[in-house]
A and B are shown apart, each in its own frame.
Chain A
Amino acid sequence: MTASIAAPTRISPWVRLRGQLRNLAPLVTLVALIALFSATSPSFATLSNLSNVLQQVSITAIIAVGLTFVILCAEIDLSVASVANATGILVAFLTVQDASVNIPNLPLPGWLAIMGGLAGCLALGAVTAFGVTRIGIPSFIMTLAMLQIGNGICALLVRGQIAYSVPPVLLTLGSGSIGPVPWIVVVAGLTLLVGHLVLTYTRFGRYIYMVGGNREAAEHSGVGVKAVVGAALLISALCSGAAGMLGVAYFGSAQQNQFDNYLLDAISAVVVGGTSLFGGQGGIGNTIVGLLVLGVLNNGLDHVRMDSFLKILIRGLVLLLALVVNVYAQRLRAKYRSAGG
């Protein structure tokens, strides 16, 4: 999804192709996986299974949109799953629960509960942004602390219990469907679309790429680097919060630790898709491919009756492979760049 590198003369197509390794490798992987599973399992390549795959990656997709902004800035957000969990639980906490659920909650009208959830995740994001841009804590450590803080908020709000009710709007968006299409897939698609439009067509989006590409140069151009990084972290928290609220409806319950897998999934999706861990390269298009690779892999391994304990290891290996390609692509890129002298 990166803009095309237009017609540098005297650079062979082969070199140019290698320069596109970042974008091509994930696509080739996706096509290969689809071919593999279609050939080995008759139940894989069906319309209903496609719908399954999309549904399975939807929550991850919403988180991954925000994370793409952060990683493009050459930062990282390890608190996404924890913020999602805390926001989901906060919404449940602000909704009337069944008498059997024994938590001292604070029921509000549905729309206020949702507002409360959004305010909650933005507040967590604001703390992260403050820590990273004003105090100067590396985002890796700062968001690690926020991960723990988010978990702490979850623990305090549900106290080991499980809550079930969320406002009706969320219930529809999280677990309803329009015709054959689940609402959650529509929401995920819209989030991806908006993320893509912002990154590609707005001034802010350009700043994200420039800050990630060369922070020092962005500063020397008069770009408010701190504001851009802070905004990316806020967007990440907002996306995580939205995913958390919808996730509670999707799962049908709100409880501690229910999002734990999503941290690794979301980071994997962004990185497998080819967005550079060093910032400035990649985008939502890459993230979409990454999401599909992970979704197809997860889903396909079930169809071929893979040992579910082996699945975990396979996912780890795929992530490792993606990291190797990511770093290798960065190095090729540097070579290709200097090739023009």
Chain B
Amino acid sequence: MRTSLAGEPLLELSGIAKRFAGVLALSGVDFTLRAGEVHGLVGENGAGKSTLMKIIAGVHAEYEGEMRLDGRPVRFRNARDARDAGIGMVHQELSTVPELSVAENVLLGAQPTRMGVVSWRRMRAQARRQLDAFGIDVDPRAPVGSLPLGLQQMVELARVLLSGARIIILDEPTSALSPPEVERLFALLARLRETGRSTVFISHFLDDVLRVSDEVTVFRNGRRVEGARADAVDKAWLIERMVGAGHERLGESHAGEMRLADRPTAPVVMAAERLSVPGLFEDVSLSVYAGEVLGIYGFMGSGQLELARALAGKLPLDGGAVRVDGQAARLRGGTPAAKRAGIAFVPESRRAMLFAQEPVYRNISIAILERIGRVLLRPRAERRIAEGHVQSLGIRPAGVDRPVGQLSGGNQQKVALARWLTHLPRVLLLSEPTRGMDVGAKDDVVRIVRGLRDAGIGVVVVSSEPETVLSLADRILVMRRGAIAREFVGEPVSKDRLLAAA
């Protein structure tokens, strides 16, 4: 395929280990980056890729093991040290200043001055030269916030390059980009390779990784599993090593196959047609049947979380229509309108759904107060309803008067679900319903969700964790870059297949 100009090891790491609050995030990791290569890093969430890169970029200063740059041992105390040594990182969340112009962002902290006054003319010219050198066609005067995400990323990259970086680390650079933007980024990476710079490319998009990398390395559970030349392996090879099929307990990893239910014959409770929110997802249509759990899976930034927010009335839709039981839902009216239409939503962040200082019973009754009493509150009825849920869901500790902020994460999630159990909605949207929970709490949530499904409502679970979707869903949609890429129904599915489709 391509002949790598790479030869000399530029950066060598050996025996790297890193703990967070006693928990091992990386252990015994060796990693070599050669001059002039693009090195792809793949692995599931929490496999340790980003942690390793943050050690290289000086973000994490505390670690075990050794790092050598140009053969000399180095130890960075902070990101500034790493930058001075020629290492630059473009994070998943961009750190450009949206209000400032492209030129100001590119030259941030290094503006050319004349007698202490910023010289705008020289700044623009300098930025122009820098951008041209990498074939980035953008007006240096434009505010960065006005540019499409892909160009914003280019601007950040240009800034990293201008700071003299020889090693550039890109964390998930393509997840939010449109196909033409991805092409532009790849062209830029090719140019960097020609100039002898090295790039580390972290991504969930395995096709992208295989296309652009010279070398690939797979991580799993904080260890380096295996590395290979990119043109010697394929996607299946990567997935096998990421998931670790055959090496782990099947039930936990969902590495084994399971068969999904056939398409339901029950009526459709929610039909969404051609939904769009520019920049997040385009032209998404889907149906949710009564008595099913629909899982929507996608990598971070693929648009599934935003889709759920839009269906809940939290994010204004740019186009499309949503019908619940055949009635048009007016989602422009926000969450109260969605609730009236029969759509309930439990967001991924518990802080965004619970009133930490208020007692458990008020957290449960908040969604049904108007059914308990039109004008006056009936605290006794509220308590009685809450006590019923606390008992049936096994919420611990059992009192309804304790501030909900004192409960554990799993119990908080149960309280948030209990809110919708008294008067069932038609559709319940759950965003990352089991994130950060222990196994027992996860099982409880699975049980609650199945109970809701059996009561005949349509449940939609959106997640960027394959396990979550696999453990809950009867039918699965996979989203990729803001569009539905594949539907799994009535067929065998496994983690490998989900990852391959995303």
> Which A residues have a C-beta under 8 Å from some C-beta of B?
3, 5-9, 201-207, 209-210, 213-214, 216-224, 226, 280-281, 333, 337-341
- Contacting pair A209 B406 (CB below 8 A): no
Closest 6 CB pairs of A and B: A340-B406, A222-B339, A6-B401, A337-B405, A224-B336, A221-B366
- Contacting pair A202 B357 (CB below 8 A): no
Given the complex, which residues of B lie within 8 Å of A204, measured CB to CB? 375
- Between A and B, 10 residue pairs with Cβ closer than 8 Å are A8-B402, A9-B397, A203-B374, A203-B376, A206-B366, A214-B354, A219-B334, A221-B419, A222-B339, A281-B357
Chain B nearest CB, measured from A128 CB (Å): 21
Interface contacts beyond A216-B352, A281-B357: sample of 6 additional A-B pairs, CB < 8 Å, sorted by A: A7-B399, A214-B354, A217-B354, A220-B335, A221-B335, A223-B366
- Contacting pair B375 A220 (CB below 8 A): no
- Contacting pair B406 A203 (CB below 8 A): no
Chain A nearest CB, measured from B215 CB (Å): 44
Q: Which residue of A3, A207, A226 has the most chain B CB atoms within 10 A of its CB atom?
A: A3
Question: Digit string of B337-351 for contact with A (CB within 8 Å is 1, else 0)?
Answer: 011100011110001
Q: In whole angstroms, how far apart are the Cα atoms of A134 and B73 in the complex?
A: 59
Q: Which residue of chain A has the shortest Cβ distance to B309 in the bound complex?
A: A220
Chain B nearest CB, measured from A137 CB (Å): 18
Given the complex, which residues of B lie within 8 Å of A210, measured CB to CB? 355, 358, 362, 366
Quick check: is B187 within 8 A (CB to CB) of the other chain? Answer: no
Q: In whole angstroms, how far apart are the Cα atoms of A92 and B319 in the complex?
A: 54
Q: In whole angstroms, how far apart are the Cα atoms of A141 and B334 in the complex?
A: 25
Quick check: is B359 within 8 A (CB to CB) of the other chain? Answer: yes
Q: Determine which of B355, B374, B402, B403 lies in contact with A214 in the assembled complex, contact meaning CB atoms within 8 Å.
A: B355
Size range of the interface on B?
35 or more
Q: Determine which of A5, A201, A216, A217 lies in contact with B403 in the assembled complex, contact meaning CB atoms within 8 Å.
A: A5
- Contacting pair B359 A222 (CB below 8 A): no
Q: In whole angstroms, how far apart are the Cα atoms of A61 and B323 in the complex?
A: 50
Chain B nearest CB, measured from A223 CB (Å): 7
Q: Determine which of A6, A205, A226, A339 lies in contact with B359 in the assembled complex, contact meaning CB atoms within 8 Å.
A: A6
- Contacting pair A223 B336 (CB below 8 A): yes
Q: In whole angstroms, how far apart are the Cα atoms of A221 and B418 in the complex?
A: 12
Q: Determine which of B351, B377, B401 lies in contact with A203 in the assembled complex, contact meaning CB atoms within 8 Å.
A: B377
- Contacting pair B355 A222 (CB below 8 A): no
Quick check: is B268 within 8 A (CB to CB) of the other chain? Answer: no
- Contacting pair A203 B358 (CB below 8 A): no
Q: Which residue of chain B has the shortest Cβ distance to A11 in the bound complex?
A: B406
Given the complex, which residues of A lie within 8 Å of B339, measured CB to CB? 222
Whether A8 touches B403, Cβ cut-off 8 Å, given contacts A202-B377, A219-B334, is: yes
Q: Which residue of chain A has the shortest Cβ distance to B373 in the bound complex?
A: A203
Chain A nearest CB, measured from B91 CB (Å): 25
Quick check: is B353 within 8 A (CB to CB) of the other chain? Answer: yes
Given the complex, which residues of A lie within 8 Å of B366, measured CB to CB? 206, 210, 218, 221, 223
**CB interface residues, B 365-418, toward A, < 8 Å:** 366-367, 369-370, 373-377, 397, 399, 401-403, 405-408
Q: Determine which of A5, A207, A213, A221 lies in contact with B401 in the assembled complex, contact meaning CB atoms within 8 Å.
A: A5
Q: Which residue of chain A has the shortest Cβ distance to B338 in the bound complex?
A: A222
Q: Which residue of chain B has the shortest Cβ distance to A217 in the bound complex?
A: B353
Chain A nearest CB, measured from B160 CB (Å): 34
Whether A206 touches B369, Cβ cut-off 8 Å, given contacts A6-B399, A201-B377, A221-B419, is: yes
Quick check: is B60 within 8 A (CB to CB) of the other chain? Answer: no
- Contacting pair B375 A8 (CB below 8 A): no
Given the complex, which residues of B lie within 8 Å of A205, measured CB to CB? 377
Chain A nearest CB, measured from B352 CB (Å): 4
Q: In whole angstroms, how far apart are the Cα atoms of A280 and B358 in the complex?
A: 9
Q: Determine which of B357, B373, B408 lies in contact with A213 in the assembled complex, contact meaning CB atoms within 8 Å.
A: B357
Q: Which residue of chain A has the shortest Cβ distance to B333 in the bound complex?
A: A224
Chain B nearest CB, measured from A164 CB (Å): 41
Given the complex, which residues of B lie within 8 Å of A341, measured CB to CB? 406, 408
Given the complex, which residues of B lie within 8 Å of A203, measured CB to CB? 369-370, 373-377
Q: In whole angstroms, how far apart are the Cα atoms of A216 and B350 in the complex?
A: 11
Quick check: is B68 within 8 A (CB to CB) of the other chain? Answer: no
Given the complex, which residues of B lie within 8 Å of A218, measured CB to CB? 355, 366
Chain A nearest CB, measured from B177 CB (Å): 29
